[in-house]
Every structure is written in structure tokens, then in C-alpha cells.
Chain A
Amino acid sequence: MLNKLRDPELGKRILAKLVPLAQEVAGHLGRPAIFMEVCGTHTMAIARSGLRSLLAGSLELRSGPGCPVCVTSQGDIDRVIALAAARHDLVIGTFGDMMRVPGTNSSLEQERARGARVEIFYSPAEAVTFAAGHPQDEVVFLGVGFETTAPAVALSVAAASSRGLENYAVLSFHKTVPLVLENLLSDPELKIDGLLLPGHVCTVTGRRAFDFVATKYNVPAVVAGFEPVDLMKAVYLLLKQVAGGRAETVNGYPRLVREEGNNKAKEIMREYFEPVNVQWRGFGEVPQSGLALRDSFSFYDAAVRFPVDVAESPPPRGCACGDVLKGKIVSSDCPLFARKCTPLQPVGPCMVSTEGACAAYYQYEWPKAEV
């Protein structure tokens, strides 16, 4: 049945309903409605399904701060690169898309070429297994991600602890989504008519955690799944709200998202992590929106065990990744886009990560033939 959610015939029939509704709303507003998606996987799914171009002219879809690698600050990127460079005795474990993200002077990939030890893991559980199999090595796992990834990283610390491993630590750059959305929605320059909420973050947090979008900021919101039919459904439900002058946080992904979310995942996150102030690319410091390991787990905290002193740096020269993440511009508005900045030679993280808005735009939506 899940295959039915990718059925192109059903998709075409839904689209035939969506377009006139989007046009009606655009007529009412005097411009196309602007919806923002706050999830890197939505960015990719929207690009891949061609939804943005199919709705062009009647509805605009923009990316927000939904790609974990992209929102990691330049200082944090520099910090992990400095650690890899200074400590060739450590094994830095990371998800793959962090490898090529450009720091101020280098990248993890470049440091690996210079002798640093960097291993790519699909799951933090694999990093723990690696540490168990390499007792002579110290493994530092780079925790990058939102509420979907943080519980998994917390469980990796639990696993290392229960297996008595002393050679596993986590460098936590984890962040939480609701507080950055508060920051985004408080920006008087922001002009969006609705939010597509990240379905898998909401699986953990629950729909209710995002009620504030509608109740406090009067912006319609829909929790969205990731199949083409899910995305069209979420856009449809947003358009209906705008057309009806309503603002609610609606669950458009009930097969996975519950009101309260995944309590077990939330408990584990709370047990291992505490909220801290953290820098976001494009947003600056967002109070209490970062997750650091609690003091009782400092033995597994790479920030405590292997401290590196790196100052916060400005983003790469000319890179507009921060404005893309705030929905102020679309990727092709950046003067570096597809000229100085391409997936082969990325200037900023939004062009590197598979979930990055610029990478998605470049790969699927940019009419390369015209240049």
C-alpha cells in the first residue's frame, strides 16, 4: 500500500486539483502563496518529484533550516576539522555528508588526505561496534542532526557504557527544530504563508510540539510525510487553510506522527542531553536550541575529553547559504550558485549535503542547458 503513495497516476490526479486551488489562493493574495519546508529530506523529495516546477507561477516552495549539516555553524565545522588535523591518533566517525563541507581552511576530506583518520558510518551503532573492534583506537563520533538523530546518538553512548568501552566519545552538534522555527517566525522580514513541518522530527517530538506555529504566530502548518502523495496532501491542506483564512498545526502524516510523539525517544534524549545555547548558520545564536551531553556523561563527551580552541568564523566569502536557510532567497539568487559554487567545488554546506537546498536545486531544478 505504501507503493500507492508513489503512484504517478494518483499524483497526476491530485495535481489536477492542487493547481487550480493554488491559483485561486494566488488570486486572493495577489501573488503566489509561499510555503516553506523545514526538512532536508523534503527539500530533496520536492526537487525529485518536480513539485516545485509543476506548481511554479501559482505557488512558491522554499527551503528553510532543515538540513542539519547546512545549519551547522562555520565555527563548529572548523572545530571538528581542527580536531581531526591535530589528533591523528583519534578516529573521527561521521555521517557521510559532513566529509566535504568546507571549513575556513580545510575539510574533513582534505584532512584525511593529510593523514587524519576519518571513518564514515551510516549509524552511530556502527561507530560503537567499530570502537569495540578497535580497542587501541579512540573513536569520536560526530553527532549532527535534529530530534531524529539525537536519540540514536544517546543510545550509542548507552551501548558504549553498557559494553564497558572507554574508547568511544561523541562530539555533539545536535540541534532542536522548534526553537529555530520560533526564531525564524519572529523575523519581521520573513514572508511565508505556511510551513511544511518535518515528518520524522515530528515522529519524535509529536505534533503538539509545533502548535505554537499556528497559535503564537498565526501561520498555517502541516506535518508532512515524504512520498509524493504525502507532500501534495500537505500542500493541499496548507492551501485549504490559507483559502479559509485559518491557521492550525495539522497532522498530515498520521500513519507515523502522534500527538505526543515517541515518548521513549524523548525520554532518552532528555536523559543524555541538556539544552544549551548554540550557533546556527544564518541565524546566529539560538538560545537553548542545542543539545550537549549532560555532565554525568562527560566521560563520553569529546568536547570535554578532547577540547579544541577554535573561534567562530564568518561563513565563506560570498556564500549566501545563511539566507537560503532563512528562506530569504532561493539558491539560484546566490551570485556564486553554479558559477563558483557547484557540487564538485562547493563553497558552502548547502551545496554539499545531499539534503542541502543548493545541491537539490542544482541537481534537479536548475536548467543547466541554458547556461
Chain B
Amino acid sequence: MCLGIPGKVVEVNRSESWAVVESFGVRKKVDIALIDEDLVPGDYLMVHAGYAIGKIDLEDAQISLELWEEILHAE
């Protein structure tokens, strides 16, 4: 039940507090009441028991991968 599933936002409805996200090819409506940040299609959310709990920062994911490349190429 602690399973978090990342999903790509395809539709946002702020006034009704939901977004449709796509994960592994499956689309699902999730509650976005816990997300304060702006959301637009193409953003990624971490979804937990039907509720988005955080917005995924793709820039950080990219930096993380680049750091690995640096570590792997060092020495």
C-alpha cells in the first residue's frame, strides 16, 4: 500500500481537483488536492493510493543521471 507509481500528466482539472495520469500505458484519474505546484500536461506526479503526493522534478532526475556518469567516468 506504500507503493508509489509515477505517472505523466495528460489532463488537469484544478477546480475539481483531479488529473489524468498515464503510467505504463494505463490512464488513471488521480486526486491532486495535495499538490500546490502548477501542473500542466507533460509533468510527472508520484501517485499513492489514488492521490498525487508530489511532483517529480525531471531536472533533478537528469542531474542525478549526469552525476552517475561523472562518477563512472572518474578514475
Contact = CB atoms under 8 A, between A and B. Distances in A.
Interface string A47-82: 000000000000000000011110000000000000
Contacts of B51: 123, 125, 151-152, 155
B33 A155 contact: yes
B48 A152 contact: yes
A149 interface: yes
Chain A interface helix/strand/loop/mixed: helix
Chain B interface helix/strand/loop/mixed: mixed
B61 A200 contact: no
Given A151-B51, A355-B1, A4 B57 contact: no
B57 A256 contact: yes
Range, interface on chain B:
20 to 34
Contact of A155 (B2, B34, B54, B59): B34
B39 to A, nearest CB: 13
Given A1-B65, A155-B33, A14 B72 contact: yes
Contact of A262 (B2, B53, B58, B61): B53
A264 B56 contact: no
Range, interface on chain A:
35 or more
B15 interface: no
Nearest to A146: B2
A215 interface: no
Contacts of A262: 34, 36, 53-54
Interface string B52-72: 011111111111110010011
B35 interface: yes
B41 interface: no
A5 interface: yes
Contacts of B42: none
Given A122-B50, A123-B49, A255-B56, A151 B34 contact: yes
A184 to B, nearest CB: 18
Contacts of A125: 31, 50-51
Nearest to A256: B54
Interface string A176-205: 000000000000000000000011110110
A23 interface: no
Given A68-B1, A145-B1, A145-B49, 5 more contacts: A1-B65, A4-B65, A68-B2, A95-B49, A229-B64
Interface of B: 1-4, 6, 31, 33-36, 44, 46, 48-51, 53-65, 68, 71-72
Which 7 residue pairs spanning A and B have beta carbons closest together?
A123-B50, A255-B60, A203-B54, A152-B51, A95-B1, A255-B61, A200-B4
22 contacts: A1-B62, A5-B61, A10-B65, A10-B68, A68-B2, A95-B1, A97-B1, A125-B50, A148-B4, A149-B48, A151-B53, A152-B31, A155-B34, A198-B2, A203-B4, A204-B53, A229-B65, A254-B64, A255-B58, A263-B36, A264-B36, A268-B34
